[in-house]
Structure formats: structure tokens, C-alpha cells
């Protein structure tokens, strides 16, 4: 099954991991994995959710210590006690789950671990701001150095995270899903930066679920499966079907399309929905839109297009929104979130750590949190009924968990995402809103999520999902609505949509708003 | 379900996969209870006598009431510093109503409400202060520490204002006013058990049920664990927070009534620093000050550990100065052990996985 690495010059390997093993509560993340990082190359690491990619990266970056195995840097055995320790050896990392302090500014975050100081104590804020601005220019983003990170959208935070790693002049730069929250234009900018770094001799370790990306920029590829080394190859020798084959074992058929039903009476009707930006302008600007029952609508757009905000207006998390939101003819505007959920709206938020999960609760308690009213007997929760619903959801969504009483943090990213989706489905929604449902999850889990969305559509639910992935929106949606600068700039039935038209609509007025909307 | 909420009293399902050491750690509050019980029954004469234990339970009940309310607040990630002052205020309200009544000067009469009415009014005052805390914390976005620090002073000031700083003595009521019977709360017994202890059993059972089995209880944990996720899941976050502060206020007011009833007098300074004892019992019982974790039973046991320690050390004749040092050490040890348990649980789970 595995393909031997083609003989690269041994001196080109700057960092080598040997027989690395690591276990967590709930999973064995790594099982005697070998991994070599070559200088001046993009070393790609792929695998399904829970395959162990992120864990391996955390070990390379000193975030976690391996239970077994060794690391060799420039031929010498090393072990990293901390991120700082690894950083002092020239290893930088861009985390998948963002590791920024929301209460600090962009510049403060970038230079948190290595501030420039005058006289050894006084932080040189001017120098920080200048350097941060230069980094932002290099990344072609208009993010102010003194903006609070907590005020930025998640994609902008990711840019800051990348800038943070760049600021350290790392020889080995690890990027864990750096593009998962970025739009196509932003990805292009990032790739240019990567090419520059590569030319400068930096070793890049690159993890992504976007296979077409990997094939484009990768030099070598290592495939992990279930915590084991599955295959290694030169990227020029392989293609996407081979990668999928190695990752999943079998090649998934693309999601099938149901007939469109947009002629039915609308399930969701938005009329002139508007949300003002407290810093001026509009986050959502006069959106009028209808979704029919059984329709799967893809909401495509770039960063800051207003998709997440539109979802927040529909679920009721933006009480200052104006305009009319009707579900099956019933006005929702003014109702609190709980009432809207009871009437059949459910949201799977974009950021599962910050908005989707209660980390201190079990998988079971997380699943039923939004639908507790369904398990009532008198004033109390009927334990048997709750456990039944939990077991059914775990089975239907194929959530990998040893027991529903395990704390939800013990699960891998993809399984956590399924818990958030399960929580939404247990409310028995008529309209399901999913914000970037494929973000940071692997091919297999993604296919499962999209199949579930199609199935729900076939069952008569209205499904709306936001994505910045063209392939995703083309493959899954019956109808594609494009947003830019808070406005709807395109509305296509799938068979009328082409990638070119979608991109053109998404860029309408986007240049003006890119990086501005917080 | 409750065993997923980090119950110190491990249920059978929880025990199944744990090592003996971890089991000991997870039962530490209970073990601490037995250790202090065993220690003082060996060293203090008559410690295990029924009368001593009943007296002990009576002493503990006041702090336990406060700690029950505190536990709800702390699980949401908040804190309630005003409970000690509410103890004083509710006692003074009850004392004022019993001693002076409600003067209706227009009609030149003074109304003396019955004892049940007095109790209801005093508890309502506690709920009101709690509601004020809740409104400050939610709609006005004041940090819980500051909001309840403010109401700590306000409620204490109000308690002093009611009588101009005087004590209401001898709250036995008068037959001609039909307001006798207030001392029953503090001195009465049911089948030989003090009324306050019976009330504690009832209230703690109700509170534990609410925390573990009702949607409200689950929402309390969710708000403390991740407020944003709870909000997007339809949890009425502000209402949950408002409610926990009102519960805390009610518990504190009830404790204040017991204090006043036991002393048969209301003193405006009573209940000072009680909030710290309540927080200590809550933390000792395994509730995380970061929110999201904790149980009522843990808190009750925590309150008993502190109570036994206090009474036992008094019986041994240990100086009150040393008592404070020991109490502080026990609280810190509890939190250290809590962290140790979490770390160990994690390691055990990993080993179980690797095996």
C-alpha cells in the first residue's frame, strides 16, 4: 500500500521524526509515525480527521511531547519542552484552532512571545506597529496593528496567526489548515508568501484538507491514516484520486443531486434584512431572499461578505437587525434565539470551539443542550429519553466516541463538528443553517456531512450553508446565492452556475470591503 | 446523567474505569469528611454523641444554605459576595416586622404580620437583592465580583438603616398580635431533629435535583462552560444568570432567618464574612470557580467538612487564630487535589486507551 519516499538528498532533510507515538483520552493519536521535513520545500501532510496530523504537528512544534519516538534536527537528537523551546530552534507554527489572545491587539499578539524591547524592559510599541504593518502588507491585508484580535472575523485572525509565525523568521514553518477560513484571493496571497519562503530555504510543513491546494503547492506528501503512516511520495508522482485512495481507502462518489424545488412556497423569506456595522456601513445590507422547503442553498462569498452575520440575524443572535425574517409565513424578527429554535431554525456556527461546544460538558449534554424541552417529564429531564436521543444521533452521524459521557474535548475536530451538527438536528429543525460546515474536517467526514445535508433536504428541510469553497458549493447546493459586501450579488440554480460567474459576483464591491469588516 | 457533571460522589459507571488512587482522589471531599469526623471523634470527648452531631448539623446548616445558592452562581462562572449582608438584612427585616410591625400612620395603627408572612417577606427581600445582582451582571454588564461587592455594602447599609444600628431583641412575638412562633425556626425540632436541619435536607435535595435533572440545571452548567455556545443553542443566558442570583439571595435570606431565630434577636452586623465561608464550602466541594463544573452534594459535604473542622477545633480548645490557618490550608489543599485529579484522570484515560 505504501509508496517509498523517493531518494531525496539526505542533507536536505532538516527535521526528522522517528517512530513517534502519542495517546490522548479517547484516542491513540499517533502510532510509530515517521516524518521527514525537507528544506526549501512544501512538505504536505494529509489524512482524515483524527488521522493524527495536528498531533504530529504539535509534537514538532513543542506544544505536545511524544509518548515515544525521537526527533532529529539537523541530524542531532532534540526534544522540545515548549513552543518557545521549539521556536528557539527555528520552528514556527500556525495553529488550526487559533491561538490568539482576543483581548490584545494584532501587534501585541504577533510579538507576544518575542517582544522587541528598549533597555530590556520597555516594549517598543512603535517598532511593533511598524513591523506588524509590514507583515500585513506582505500578506496584503488591511488589518490595523492596533485593532483588537477579538474584534476580527475568524479569517482575519488566521491572517494574524500567519503573520505571528512569519514574524519569528522560522526556518521550519508549520501551517495547520492555514486556508480553512480564507477565500480564494486570500489563498493566492498566502501561496505567494509560501513560494517566497520556499525560495529563501525555509522548510514548510503544510496540512490541509483542500486536496487541489496540496497538489498545487506541495513538493512531498505524507499520508496518515488512523494515526499510522500510510504512504509517502513526491507530489509530482501523484494526483488527487491517489491521495483520496490513500486517505480513505476507497474513492467517494460525488454527492448526488436532488431535483430542485424552488417553486414551492417559501420556508424562509427574508425581506430587506439589514445589519449595521457599529464602525459604520453595513454588515448585511438589504438582503431579500427566499428558501423553499427541501432546497439546499449554498451561500458563497469571500471573507467579510456578511454570510455569518446573515445567519446570526436569522437565528436571532443580532437583536439590532432590521427587516423581516419569516419562517413558513411566521414573523421571527424580535423573537429570542430560544423561540426561533422552537419554531424550527437551527444554526451550526462557524467556530465550533468558541460558539458550538460547551467544553466542560459531556458529548451527551452537548448534543441535547438545544433540545432539552423534548425530553421533559414534568419538570425534569427524562434520562432514558435523553440517552435514547443521544445514542441515535451518535449512530446516525457516525460520531466516534467510546461513551456519550466522555467530555467533548476528548474528540477529534471532525467528531466535535458532528456533535455540533447533531445538537442542531436534535432540535428537529425545519431550516438548518450551517456556517462553513466543512471547515477543518477531512474528506471522509466532509462527505458524510454533505450527504447528511442532502438527505435532510430530501426530507423536506430547508438547508442553507455558507462556504468560501467553490467546489463545495458547486457539488452540494441546489441553488447558489452569492454575497459580497453584505449584499446578495448573485442567485443561480446550480446548473446555471459556473465557477467564473460565482467568482465574478463574489468580487463585486469586495475589493472595497476586504479586510474592513470586523 | 449527573455523572458526566463531575460528581465527587462517583456513580458506579464512573468508578468502572478508574484506578484505586483516582477513585480516592475523586472521593476526596467525602474522605476528608470521614477523616475529620474520625479525627475529632478520637480526640474530642463526646464528639460522636448524638447531641453534638445534631448541634453540628445545626451550625453547618447556615453555611450550607449560603453555599447551595453560591454553587449555582459559581457554576455559571459568577460569584456572589452579597450573601453575608443578605443574612443580616433578612434578619433585620424579620426582626423589624416582629418587633415594630408596619406602622400605617394614616390610620394610626401598626400592622403586625404573622410569622409565615414575616418569613415570606424576609426571603422576598433576599430574592430582590439577588435580582438586583442579576440585573447588574446581565443587562448592565457589571462584573459579578464588583456588582455583588456593591450590593454587599448596600444590603449591609440597609440592614443598619432599618434600626439605626440597633439590635431587635427578644423576637418571641406577642400573643395579642398573633405573631408568636418565630423561634421555632431556630430552636424547634421535628422528631428530635432541629427544624433548620430538616429544612437543609429538603432544600439541598431540591437544589441537587434542579442542578442535575432539570433543563434549568443543565443550562446553568452550559452558561458557565461556554456562554456563547449556550446562547446560540437557545439558552436564555441572561435569565439563567438572573435566576441563579435570585436563588442565592433566597438561600441567604433563609439562612438569615435561621440565624435571627436561633438568637431570638436580629443584629444588623450578623452574617459578616459569611460569603467567604460559603465560597470555601463551594470550592471545597469541587466546584470550579471558572464555571461549568460542580455539584450540590459536593458543596454540602464541603460545608460539613468546614463545619466539623470549626466545631471540632473549638472542642479541642485550639485557638481561633490557628483555626483560621487550618481552614485556609484545607481550602488550598482541596483545590490542589482537584487539579491533581484532573491531571490524573487524563493520564488514566490515555493509558486505558493505549492498553
ipTM above 0.90, yes or no: no
Given an 8 Å threshold on Cβ–Cβ distance, is B233 in contact with A357? no
Length of chain A: 518
Exposure class string for A432-443: b at 16+ Cβ within 10 A, else e = bbbbbbbbbbbb
Give the torsion sign (CA, A310, A315, A318, A322).
positive
Is the predicted pLDDT of residue B332 greater than 80, yes or no? yes
Q: Which helix (H) or strand (E) holds A33?
A: strand A27-38
Exposure class string for B274-310: b at 16+ Cβ within 10 A, else e = bbebbbbbbbbbbbbbebbbbbbbbbbbbbbbbbbbb
Q: What's the pLDDT tens digit per position in A358-371?
A: 988 999 999 999 99
pLDDT at A31: 85
Strand segments (E) across chain B: 102-104, 109-111, 189-190, 193-194
Mean pLDDT of A99-123: 82
Exposure class string for A407-417: b at 16+ Cβ within 10 A, else e = bbbbbbbbbbb
Residue position matching grid coordinates 456563547:
B228
Among A69-78, A258-267, B12-21, B55-64, which stretch is predicted with the lowest mean pLDDT?
B12-21
Q: Which helix (H) or strand (E) holds A435?
A: strand A431-435
Q: What is the mean pLDDT of chain A?
A: 83
β-pairing verdict for B189-190 and B193-194: antiparallel
Question: Do A337 and B234 touch, CB atoms closer than 8 A?
Answer: yes
Is the predicted pLDDT of residue B20 greater than 80, yes or no? no
Among A156-165, A487-496, B141-150, B317-326, which stretch is predicted with the lowest mean pLDDT?
A156-165
A contact residues 64-93, partner B, Cβ 8 Å cutoff: 67
pLDDT bucket at A263, cuts 50 / 70 / 90: low
Distance from CA of B204 to the nearest CA of A (A): 16
Given an 8 Å threshold on Cβ–Cβ distance, is A361 in contact with B234? no
Distance from CA of A361 to the nearest CA of B (A): 7
For residue A236, the 8-state DSSP code is: G
Given an 8 Å threshold on Cβ–Cβ distance, is A379 in contact with B230? no
B contact residues 217-256, partner A, Cβ 8 Å cutoff: 218-219, 221-222, 224-226, 228-236
Given an 8 Å threshold on Cβ–Cβ distance, is A340 in contact with B222? no
pLDDT bucket at B106, cuts 50 / 70 / 90: confident
Searching chain A, which residue's CA lies closest to the CA of residue B291?
Answer: A360
Q: What's the pLDDT tens digit per position in A379-401?
A: 889 989 999 999 999 998 888 88
pLDDT at A344: 92
The larger pLDDT score, comparing residue A283 to residue B28, is at A283
Cross-chain CB nearest to B4 (options A317, A362, A427): A362
Residue position matching grid coordinates 512544534:
A61
Mean pLDDT of B258-263: 93
Query: Percent of chain A having pLDDT more than 90?
Result: 25
Mean pLDDT of A17-31: 79
Question: Do B251 and B259 touch, CB atoms closer than 8 A?
Answer: no
Which positions ≥6 away from B321 have C-beta within 8 Å?
none
Searching chain B, which residue's CA lies closest to the CA of residue A409?
Answer: B346
| Chain B neighbors of A380, CB-CB under 8 A | 209, 213-214
What is d(CA A467, CA A475) in angstroms, rounded to the nearest whole number? Answer: 12
Is the predicted pLDDT of residue B132 greater than 70, yes or no? yes
pLDDT bucket at A501, cuts 50 / 70 / 90: confident
Query: Percent of chain B having pLDDT more than 70?
Result: 91
Going from the N-terminus, what domains does chain A have, and what CATH number goes with each? 1-82+203-251 (3.40.50.300), 268-344+429-513 (3.40.50.300)
B contact residues 288-327, partner A, Cβ 8 Å cutoff: 288, 291-293
| Chain B neighbors of A370, CB-CB under 8 A | 233-234
Helix B320-354 to helix B296-315 angle (10° resolution) is 140
Question: Do A3 and A40 touch, CB atoms closer than 8 A?
Answer: no
| Chain A neighbors of B353, CB-CB under 8 A | 23-28
Count of pairs with CB atoms under 8 A, one residue in A, one in B: 116
pLDDT at A439: 74
A contact residues 419-458, partner B, Cβ 8 Å cutoff: 423, 427
Cβ of residue B350 closer than 8 Å to a chain A Cβ:
yes
Strand segments (E) across A252-327: 268-276, 282-291, 296-301, 322-327
pLDDT at A185: 78
Cβ of residue A359 closer than 8 Å to a chain B Cβ:
yes
Mean pLDDT of A208-214: 79
Distance from CA of B328 to the nearest CA of A (A): 27
Mean pLDDT of B258-279: 92
Given an 8 Å threshold on Cβ–Cβ distance, is B292 in contact with A359? yes
pLDDT bucket at A440, cuts 50 / 70 / 90: low
The larger pLDDT score, comparing residue B260 to residue A170, is at B260
Among A40-44, A214-218, A501-505, which stretch is predicted with the lowest mean pLDDT?
A501-505
Going from the N-terminus, what domains does chain B have, and what CATH number goes with each? 2-354 (1.10.3470)
Question: Do A461 and A294 touch, CB atoms closer than 8 A?
Answer: yes
Residue position matching grid coordinates 496593528:
A145
Cβ of residue A134 closer than 8 Å to a chain B Cβ:
no
What is d(CA B77, CA A379) in angstroms, rounded to the nearest whole number? Answer: 24
Is the predicted pLDDT of residue B308 greater than 50, yes or no? yes
Q: What is the CA radius of gyration of chain A?
A: 23
pLDDT at A5: 41
Residue position matching grid coordinates 456556517:
A435
Task: Give the mutation candidate from B208, B234, B292 for the A interface (greatest A CB count, under 10 A).
Answer: B234
Searching chain A, which residue's CA lies closest to the CA of residue B348?
Answer: A25
Mean pLDDT of A9-25: 78
What is d(CA A451, CA A254) in angstroms, rounded to the nearest whole number? Answer: 9
What is d(CA A486, CA A163) in angstroms, rounded to the nearest whole number? Answer: 27
Is the predicted pLDDT of residue B301 greater than 60, yes or no? yes
Given an 8 Å threshold on Cβ–Cβ distance, is A360 in contact with B225? yes
Is the predicted pLDDT of residue B268 greater than 70, yes or no? yes
Residue position matching grid coordinates 510509530:
A32
pLDDT at A1: 38
> Which long-range CB contacts under 8 A does B41-45 form with residues at least 24 apart?
B43/B312, B43/B316, B44/B312, B44/B315, B44/B316, B45/B315
What is d(CA A175, CA B304) in angstroms, rounded to the nearest whole number? Answer: 52
Q: What's the pLDDT tens digit per position in A390-432?
A: 999 999 888 888 889 888 887 777 788 899 999 999 999 999 9
Mean pLDDT of B271-280: 92
The values of phi and psi at residue A344, to 5°, are: 115, 20
Searching chain A, which residue's CA lies closest to the CA of residue B211?
Answer: A380
What is d(CA A504, CA A430) in angstroms, rounded to the nearest whole number? Answer: 32
Query: Percent of chain B having pLDDT more than 90?
Result: 52
Going by C-alpha positions, the residue among A181, A147, A118, A37 that lies closest to residue A516 is A147
Distance from CA of B234 to the nearest CA of A (A): 4
Given an 8 Å threshold on Cβ–Cβ distance, is A342 in contact with B209? no
Amino acid at each position: 500500500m505504501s509508496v517509498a519516499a523517493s531518494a531525496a538528498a539526505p542533507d536536505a532533510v532538516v527535521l526528522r521524526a522517528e517512530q513517534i507515538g502519542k495517546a490522548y483520552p479517547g484516542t491513540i493519536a499517533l502510532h510509530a509515525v515517521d516524518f521527514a521535513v525537507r528544506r526549501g520545500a512544501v512538505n504536505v501532510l494529509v489524512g482524515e480527521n483524527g488521522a493524527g496530523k495536528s498531533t504530529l504537528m504539535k509534537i514538532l512544534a513543542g506544544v505536545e511531547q511524544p509518548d515515544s519516538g525521537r526527533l532529529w534536527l539537523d541530524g542531532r537528537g532534540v526534544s522540545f519542552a515548549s513552543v518557545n523551546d521549539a521556536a528557539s530552534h527555528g520552528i514556527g507554527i500556525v495553529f488550526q484552532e487559533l491561538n490568539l489572545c482576543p483581548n490584545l491587539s494584532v501587534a501585541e499578539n504577533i510579538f507576544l512571545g518575542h517582544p522587541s524591547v528598549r533597555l530590556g524592559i520597555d516594549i517598543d510599541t512603535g517598532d511593533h506597529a511598524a513591523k506588524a504593518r509590514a507583515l500585513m502588507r506582505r500578506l496584503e491585508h488591511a488589518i490595523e496593528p492596533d485593532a483588537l484580535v477579538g474584534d476580527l472575523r475568524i479569517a482575519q485572525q488566521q491572517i494574524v496567526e500567519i503573520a505571528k509565525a512569519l514574524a519569528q523568521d522560522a526556518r521550519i514553518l508549520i501551517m495547520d489548515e492555514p486556508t480553512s477560513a480564507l477565500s480564494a484571493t486570500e489563498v493566492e496571497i498566502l501561496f505567494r508568501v509560501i513560494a517566497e519562503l520556499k525560495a529563501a530555504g525555509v522548510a514548510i510543513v503544510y496540512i490541509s484538507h483542500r486536496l487541489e491546494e496540496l497538489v498545487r503547492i506541495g513538493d512531498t506528501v505524507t499520508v496518515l491514516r488512523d494515526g499510522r503512516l500510510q504512504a509517502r511520495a513526491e507530489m509530482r508522482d501523484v494526483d488527487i484520486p491517489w491521495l483520496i485512495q490513500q486517505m480513505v481507502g476507497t474513492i467517494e462518489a460525488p454527492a448526488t443531486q436532488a431535483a430542485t424545488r424552488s417553486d414551492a412556497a417559501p420556508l424562509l423569506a427574508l425581506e430587506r434584512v439589514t445589519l449595521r456595522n457599529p464602525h459604520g456601513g453595513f454588515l448585511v445590507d438589504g438582503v431579500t431572499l427566499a428558501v423553499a422547503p427541501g432546497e439546499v442553498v449554498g451561500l458563497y462569498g469571500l471573507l467579510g461578505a456578511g454570510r455569518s452575520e446573515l445567519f446570526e440575524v436569522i437565528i436571532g443572535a443580532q437583536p439590532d437587525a432590521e427587516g423581516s425574517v419569516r419562517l413558513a409565513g411566521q414573523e421571527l424578527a424580535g423573537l429570542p434565539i430560544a423561540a426561533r429554535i422552537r419554531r424550527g431554525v437551527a444554526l451550526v456556527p462557524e467556530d465550533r470551539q468558541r460558539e458550538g461546544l460547551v467544553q466542560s460538558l459531556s458529548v451527551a449534554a452537548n448534543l441535547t443542550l438545544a433540545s432539552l424541552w423534548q425530553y421533559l417529564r414534568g419538570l425534569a429531564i427524562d434520562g432514558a429519553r435523553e440517552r435514547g436521543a443521544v445514542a441515535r444521533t451518535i449512530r446516525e452521524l457516525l460520531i466516534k466516541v467510546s461513551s456519550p459521557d466522555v467530555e467533548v474535548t476528548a474528540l477529534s475536530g471532525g467528531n466535535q463538528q458532528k456533535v455540533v451538527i447533531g445538537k442542531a438536528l436534535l432540535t428537529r429543525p425545519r431550516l438548518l443553517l450551517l456556517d462553513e460546515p466543512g471547515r477543518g474536517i477531512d474528506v471522509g467526514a466532509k462527505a458524510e456531512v454533505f450527504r447528511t445535508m442532502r438527505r435532510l433536504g430530501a426530507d423536506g428541510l430547508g438547508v442553507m450553508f455558507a462556504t468560501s469553497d467553490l467546489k463545495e458549493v458547486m457539488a452540494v447546493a441546489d441553488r447558489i446565492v452569492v454575497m459580497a459586501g453584505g449584499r446578495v450579488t448573485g442567485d443561480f440554480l446550480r446548473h446555471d452556475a459556473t465557477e467564473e460567474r460565482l467568482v465574478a459576483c463574489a468580487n463585486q464591491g469586495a475589493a472595497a470591503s476586504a479586510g474592513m469588516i470586523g | 446523567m449527573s455523572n458526566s457533571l463531575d460528581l465527587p460522589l462517583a456513580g458506579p459507571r464512573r468508578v468502572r474505569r478508574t484506578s484505586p488512587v483516582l477513585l480516592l482522589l475523586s472521593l476526596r471531599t467525602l474522605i476528608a469528611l470521614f477523616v475529620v469526623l474520625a479525627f475529632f471523634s478520637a480526640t474530642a470527648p463526646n464528639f460522636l454523641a448524638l447531641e453534638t452531631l445534631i448541634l453540628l448539623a445545626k451550625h453547618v446548616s447556615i453555611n450550607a444554605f449560603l453555599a447551595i445558592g453560591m454553587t449555582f452562581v459559581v457554576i455559571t462562572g459568577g460569584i456572589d459576595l452579597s450573601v453575608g449582608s443578605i443574612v443580616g438584612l433578612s434578619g433585620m427585616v424579620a426582626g423589624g416586622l416582629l418587633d415594630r410591625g408596619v406602622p400605617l400612620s394614616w390610620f394610626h395603627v401598626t400592622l403586625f404580620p404573622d410569622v409565615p408572612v414575616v418569613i415570606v417577606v424576609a426571603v422576598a427581600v433576599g430574592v430582590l437583592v439577588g435580582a438586583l445582582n442579576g440585573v447588574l451582571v446581565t443587562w448592565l454588564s457589571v462584573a459579578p465580583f464588583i456588582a455583588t461587592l456593591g450590593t454587599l455594602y448596600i444590603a449591609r447599609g440597609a440592614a443598619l438603616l432599618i434600626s439605626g444600628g440597633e439590635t431587635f431583641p427578644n423576637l418571641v412575638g406577642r400573643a395579642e398580635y398573633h405573631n408568636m412562633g418565630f423561634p421555632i425556626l431556630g430552636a424547634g425540632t421535628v422528631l428530635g431533629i432541629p427544624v433548620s436541619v430538616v429544612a437543609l435536607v429538603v432544600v439541598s435535595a431540591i437544589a441537587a435535583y434542579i442542578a442535575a435533572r432539570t433543563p434549568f440545571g443543565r443550562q446553568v452548567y452550559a452558561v458557565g462552560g461556554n456562554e456563547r455556545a449556550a446562547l446560540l443553542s437557545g439558552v436564555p443566558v441572561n435569565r439563567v444568570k438572573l435566576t441563579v442570583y435570585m436563588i442565592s439571595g433566597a438561600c441567604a435570606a433563609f439562612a438569615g432567618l435561621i440565624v435571627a431565630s436561633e438568637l431570638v434577636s436580629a443584629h444588623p452586623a450578623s452574617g459578616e464574612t459569611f460569603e467567604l465561608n460559603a465560597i470555601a464550602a463551594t470550592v471545597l466541594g469541587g466546584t470550579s470557580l471558572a464555571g461549568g463544573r460542580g455539584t450540590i452534594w459536593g458543596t454540602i459535604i464541603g460545608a460539613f467538612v468546614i463545619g466539623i473542622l470549626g466545631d471540632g477545633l473549638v472542642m479541642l480548645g485550639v485557638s481561633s487564630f490557628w483555626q483560621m490557618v487550618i481552614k485556609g490550608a484545607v481550602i488550598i489543599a482541596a483545590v490542589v487535589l482537584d487539579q491533581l485529579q484532573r491531571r490524573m484522570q487524563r493520564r488514566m484515560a490515555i493509558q486505558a486507551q493505549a492498553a
